[in-house]
Structures are given as C-alpha cells and as structure tokens.
C-alpha cells in the first residue's frame, strides 16, 4: 500500500511537471505570436510610408529603389504572416497539450482518492470497526 501511494504521488508530480511545461510552451507561443503581430504592424506602417514616398518621387532611380524596398517589405510581411499562422497553430497545440495534461492530472487525483478510500476500508476491516455514518441534520 505504501509503495502504491508513493507511485501515485510520483505520477501526480510528473503530471504537474508536464502541466507546467505545457503552460510554459503556451506562454512562449503566445509571446512569439504577439511579437510577430507587432513586426507585421511595423512592416505595414513602413510600407505605407514608402508607398506615399513613391508618389512624391520623380527620379526613376529612387522610384526603382523604393519599389525594390517595397517588394522586400511585402515579402517580409508575408513571411511574418506565415510565421504568425504557424505560431497560432503551435499555440493551439500547446493549449490542447495543456488540456490533456490537466485531464491526466484529474485522473491521477481520482485514482489517489480511490486508493485512499480503499486504504480506509482495509483499515476498517482489519480493526473490525464499523465505519462511522454521518448523522442526519435536524431541521
């Protein structure tokens, strides 16, 4: 019985560690997603500034340079959006992992409660005690 309780306690601790690791991965994915969104907003702002500058430019060399820069910004923005989508998928996976770890933790808690009831029943049987019954409340 003692060994069984130790194993259940070890299993519960392992589930707590897995749960905390899943929470850390979730926070990291959310932070990376927020950073990607900030980068996308920055790129959109820069692209808007360059587009307005293109309308004011009359020199073909400057116009070509601005178009190349704008194309690079659009490519960077697309890359950031793709990364943001993959980060959103990672966030969702971490949330699912967190939920499954929480469910496993609840199962371990249920097992621990069942084991405690079994131990109490065995103690009652070995000492030939009648389990105490709750007294009825008087109204």
pLDDT in tens, 53-111: 655 555 666 666 666 776 777 777 777 677 766 666 766 666 666 666 666 666 666 66
Q: Domain 2-127, CATH 3.90.930 — does that match? A: no
| 31 or 120: which leads in pLDDT | 31
Residue 51 is predicted with a pLDDT of 63
Residue 128 is predicted with a pLDDT of 55
CA 71 to chain centre: 35
Q: Is the pLDDT of residue 132 over 60?
A: no
**Residue 122 tokens, joined:** 């065995």
Q: Which residue, 86, 80, 73, 98, is CA-closest to 23?
A: 98
Helix axes 60-127, 2-56, angle to 10 degrees: 170
Residue 6 is predicted with a pLDDT of 83
Strands (E), the chain: none
Q: Which residues contact 53 (CB under 8 A, 6 or more apart)?
A: 66
Average of per-residue pLDDT values in the chain:
70
């Amino acid at each position: 019985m003692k060994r069984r309780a130790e194993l259940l306690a070890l299993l519960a601790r392992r589930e707590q560690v897995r749960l905390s690791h899943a929470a850390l991965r979730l926070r990291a994915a959310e932070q990376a997603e927020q950073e990607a969104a900030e980068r996308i907003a920055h790129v959109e702002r820069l692209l808007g500034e360059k587009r307005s500058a293109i309308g004011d430019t009359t020199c073909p060399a400057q116009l070509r340079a601005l178009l190349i820069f704008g194309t690079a910004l659009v490519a960077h923005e697309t890359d950031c959006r793709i990364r943001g989508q993959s980060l959103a998928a990672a966030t969702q996976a971490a949330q699912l992992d967190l939920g499954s770890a929480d469910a496993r933790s609840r199962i371990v808690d249920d097992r621990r409660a069942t084991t405690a009831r079994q131990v109490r029943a065995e103690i009652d049987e070995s000492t030939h005690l009648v389990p105490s019954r709750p007294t009825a409340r008087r109204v």
